[in-house]
Amino acid sequence: MDAADLPARLQARLARGCAAAEARMGASNGASDVIVYRKGDAGQQNEDTGAQSPEWEPVHAGVLPFRLGGTRGAGQTRTVSTPAGDVQVALRTGSFPNEGPDLQDGDLIAIVAGERAGTFWSIVEADAADQQTARRVPVVAAQRPEEWS
């Protein structure tokens, strides 16, 4: 084996893996369609209360394929502070195509079609990694923003 050819071979293998992962994310394979939103600046002011609600802007145009998975191995949790005290919440894994949107911590995932349609998930940590076949991020269940009512 020629060592100089190794990086090109690895890149080709990674490209095949990405294509296979994206094929598995197709709707026929149980993937959901989602829209990812990011909280923006304060939006319009409520005439009655004077309160300003933040605007949520889509991170990308259209819907993206998405797979919501469970945790791997031992259950992962995150501590959340509430008025009643600290609470442990379960972390799930959300998978996007590798060439998906520029995700950030706190982005809101709205599942618009699929098994969990109508649910919302918040991205806990959006760090990317090299040589992945899909963009996997830890997510927690979230509520629909009040300002969307």
| Choice between 66 and 30, residue whose per-residue pLDDT is larger | 66
In DSSP terms, which residues pair with 80 in a beta bridge?
Answer: 87
Of residues 28 and 119, more confidence is placed in: 119
Burial 26-37 (b: 16+ CB within 10 A, else e): eeeeebbbbbbb
Residue 4 is predicted with a pLDDT of 53
Q: Do 40 and 54 touch, CB atoms closer than 8 A?
A: yes
What pLDDT sits at residue 1?
45
**Confidence category of residue 11, pLDDT binned at 50, 70, 90:** confident
Q: Is the pLDDT of residue 3 over 50?
A: no
Which single residue is written with the structure tokens 């259950």? 75
pLDDT value, residue 83: 77
Report the distance separating Cα 104 and Cα 128, nearest Å: 10
Q: In this structure, what token pair is assigned to residue 140?
A: 């927690």
DSSP 19-36: HHHHHHTSGGGTPEEEEE
- Burial class for 111, CB neighbours closer than 10 Å (0-12, 13-18, 19+): buried
**pLDDT surpasses 50 at 89:** yes
Give pairs for 84-91: CB < 8 Å, separation 24+.
89/140, 89/141, 90/140, 90/141, 91/124, 91/138, 91/139, 91/140
pTM over 0.85: no
The full set of domain ranges for the chain reads: 3-148
Provide the pLDDT for residue 81: 72
Report the C-alpha gap between 86 and 80 in whole angstroms.
Answer: 6
